Amino acid sequence: MSALEKYLEKMQDDAATLEAINRAIRALSTRREDDARALLADLAEKAVSLSRGLNDGLDIVNLPKGAVA
């Protein structure tokens, strides 16, 4: 597998994880328990982190060396 394929696979894995987190956030958002609120905050923080990584990682400037060959 080439460096580009590995890189894109990681980005796809992160996007799938972000989708799962968003589904969990949506499900928890209807609950009123304090534990649910704390979990929502943790999930939202992870989602922000993954989003930032995807945005930064998909910038053409940040492609791994040798990916555009």
What percent of the chain clears pLDDT 90, i.e. is strictly above it? 43
Write down the pTM of the prediction: 0.73
CB atoms within 10 A of CB 21: 20
Those residues whose C-beta lies under 8 Å from the C-beta of residue 29, and which sit 6 or more positions away, are: 40
Q: pLDDT under 70 in the chain at which residues?
A: 60-64, 67-69
